[in-house]
Amino acid sequence: MNRETIPYSEFSFTLPVGVLDGDGTLHRQGVIRRTTGHDEIWVSKDPRTQENPAYGIISLLSRVITSLGNFSSVTPQLLEQLFLTDFIYLREFYSQINQPGLEGMASGEFLATPWSNCTKR
């Protein structure tokens, strides 16, 4: 199996609001990859997740988001600072790219569309 036959596994995204760094710069662009079985096992062994199962999604996202703005790493502590809008957006995007049957999904950016299900704008 060569790189051309491996299902696309990284996706760009743009957060609806963004994360502020210490200098006040807003970071909205990022890249997320599909989850592996190893990621799931790692999260289940994380003491924070064992203590509070709701923390699992924060732990998991910190493993699969490969970049976020100019931050050197994406940590659970960084993701804890997300605005709720951004957290919900990432959780939904994560679910979308990890659905069974999407192995052939073309690459592309998942844009923030908070009104996509709204009939009135």
Reported as a pLDDT band with limits 50, 70 and 90, residue 121 is very low
- Of the CA atoms within 13 Å of residue 43, those in its CB half-sphere come to 20
Instruction: Kindly report the pTM of this predicted structure.
Output: 0.77
pLDDT by residue (tens digit) across 30-85? 999 999 999 999 999 999 999 999 999 999 999 999 999 999 999 999 999 999 99
% of the chain residues with pLDDT over 70: 76
Dihedral sign (CA 44, 49, 53, 54): negative
- Of the CA atoms within 13 Å of residue 116, those in its CB half-sphere come to 8
Reported as a pLDDT band with limits 50, 70 and 90, residue 9 is confident
Would you say 12 and 28 are in contact if contact means Cβ atoms under 8 Å apart?
no
